[in-house]
Amino acid sequence: MRPARRPSKNPHAEAEQFRRRAALGFVMVAVALLGLAGWYFKLQVVDHTEYATLSEANRIKPKPVVPGRGTIFDRKGRLLAENVPAFRLEVMPEKAGDPKKLVAELGKIFVLTPEDIERFEATRKATRGFRPIALKLRVSEEEMARFAVDRWRFPGVELEPYLTRRYPYGDLFAHIVGYVSRIDDKDLETLGEGNAALTHIGKTGLERYYEETLRGKIGYEQVETNVEGRALRTVGRVPAQAGLDLRLSVDANLQLAMVQAFGDLEGSAVALDPRTGEVLAMVSLPSYDPNLFVNGISHADFNALNSNPSRPQFNRLVLGGVAPGSTVKPLTALAGMDSGLRKPEDRVLSTGMFRLPGMTGRGWGDSHRGGHGWTDARKSIYESVNTYYYRLALDMGVQRYDEYMARYGFGQKTGIDLMGEIEGIVPSPESKRKYAKERWYPGDLVNSAIGQGLWKATLLQLARGTAAIADGGLMRRPHLAAEQRAGFDAPWQPLPQPAPLRISDRADHVRVVQEGMEMTVAIGTAASVFRGSAYRSAGKTGTAQVVNRSTVAVNPKSLPLWKRHRALYVGYAPAENPTIAVAVAVEGGGYGASTAAPIARKVFDAWLLGKMPDVPEVPGSEKPIAGALSPSPDGRGVGARVRGETSAGAGVEPASPASESANAEQSAAPRVNRTLTPTPLPPGEGLKPKPQERSP
């Protein structure tokens, strides 16, 4: 059988088929190339801006630049708050690996306290991983040297330079300047994302009140990095704006003289320029070292401050109030005359005991058991005659009495540039119902007339009222910051202040009060303290009673210091042209004439006679004389011009010793440092029970 024949090939058909396949392949390749070209065109042309931006963002990293915080000076140019260079240890969690292992390894190089580790862990859990977290602040030079050797072992760990806050005078200005401390979550919510790079914020004092002024504005650097994220160079910069500097009206010499005048006593004092409202000195004792808080206070130091019954952190001037006692009598006498209820020559008979009309029971006594006899307005002030004010208050009535006290600034904030100032309490039926949950009685107004009872006034309110009398009836806003500037080479610009308020339209009535206060120093309750002074002054002594059942009828001099009444004194000098007004409150001081007035005398001597203690200069401070505040707007000058320049080495009178009647335990207890040194004694010393204030 013959095999089947294989069909012959058709070359033409095969060629045609090849051509069709080749054409199809060419078309497919062309379409693919066109698609690829179109994609490249889209990337390189259409989407160029977007991808260039993303590429640049991967290469260029914005780095925030924290501005330098504004510095704070006293009136003579001494640095009270400055910035010093330091390094902190920062960790980028997403690059650093296991945090526990990392901390353990870094602990071999750096001294890490339990507080450092605890704060780092808390911040790490609450912060995004790509943000650096400070593990340790204020790294020492030895630690930096050790870290440089092993730097390659710790990716994501850097030493970052920064400026940290320092307070050269320690506890001397703690309650004025305050302090900055590390930002917490609550602060971040307030500041917003734009200020997330900040590490510190003002917490108390002027640092808090002028936070936005001192802080400045954050800038940015555009840093080029490699694939590992390491910085190569800076390619752009948005400069940070440094905070403004502040110059205060406070004089460091007078501040130290005021502290030394207290000796071992506790309390507060403030000195104002009655012509401007400038605060010349202001102390709350005991004090504390604000440097402890800047980079995180240790548990031991914090517990020592909190457990101290004398409460060093408590600013007695703006947060604490006291019954003004007899120091309010000059203003009450002015209210009596301005209201038309009393003339300066009107007299009231003081027999030693006053009773409400129609009552034969309880009575209110005078400072002299036998009475003061016939008393006019001037005598009521310089002999502190209670009966004059008992009758005056009853004649005025509580509503009119409160209206005049409000005119003199009581029951309202003074407006000083410090946060947290209280308004105080002016006795009234409403305030008694609110605070004591009791009804109002006529006897309450009798107590109020001599500054006792439900009264609560701050020392700043008393100082402002006294300064208003000294300045002929013009009441000004007390203020600490006098000038500001934008940079060390910029001129100082004065901070505007509100116009003064007139507390009386009768200059002759104000003059009667002035004469009564001058006679207090000349022949009255403060005569023995100011005898022999080289200047004339005016003042008023007072006592804020601390009463309980066991001490109501006891002579304060027989009690331990902490059970005694608060001693008060207000005054101004020189009497004929006042340049300084003071208010002093001594806790447990007994009587104003014996305890508070001597402190005021030393403050006057320091300011008017140049009996100033030397204050060490701090590097970076301005020249004391060239940097002094300019004269006041009225052309009468400032305190430095009044008292003249003092010679170097001038001292102050010895500080008054602790009361001999203080108990042995108090006398033996260590005290808070009252001398100016770069490193003050640890806070928490000088323990003493705080007396409880009660209404009589």
State residue 279 phi and psi, 5-degree precision: -85, 120
| DSSP label of 500 | P
| CA distance linking residue 512 with residue 333, whole number of Å | 9
94, 268 contact by CB (below 8 A): no
Q: Quote the strand ranges of 566-662, DSSP E.
A: 566-573, 580-587
Structure-token pair, residue 634: 């009225």
b/e 466-475 (16+ beta carbons within 10 angstroms → b): bbbbbbebbb
344: left (phi over 0), alpha (psi -120 to 50) or beta: alpha
> Strand, helix or coil at 118?
helix
Structure-token pair, residue 3: 């095999």
* Residue of 250, 318, 323, 341 whose CA lies nearest to 639: 250
Residue 501: strand pairing partners: 475
185, 267 contact by CB (below 8 A): no
* Residue of 85, 84, 137 whose CA lies nearest to 112: 137
Residue 365: strand pairing partners: 353
- No. of helices (H) and no. of strands (E), the chain: 25, 23
State the sign of the Cα–Cα–Cα–Cα dihedral 606, 607, 609, 612. positive
The DSSP line for 445-478 is: HHHHHTT-TT-BB-HHHHHHHHHHHHTTSEE---
Secondary structure element (H or E) that encloses residue 305, with its range? helix 299-306
Confirm whether 287 is a catalytic residue: no
| CA distance linking residue 539 with residue 410, whole number of Å | 19
Q: Which residue has the tokens 């199809």?
A: 24
680, 170 contact by CB (below 8 A): yes
| CA distance linking residue 477 with residue 418, whole number of Å | 12
∠ Cα 170 174 176 (to 5°): 135
Q: Kindly list the distances between the CA atom of residue 371 and the CA atoms of 359, 374, 380, 503, 555, in Å, as whole numbers in the listed order.
A: 19, 9, 12, 31, 18
442, 394 contact by CB (below 8 A): yes
What's the start-to-end Cα distance of the chain, in Å?
147
- Residue among 284, 287, 326, 659 flagged as catalytic: 326
Q: Quote the strand ranges of 110-230, DSSP E.
A: 133-136, 157-166, 180-182, 200-202, 219-225
Active site residues: 326
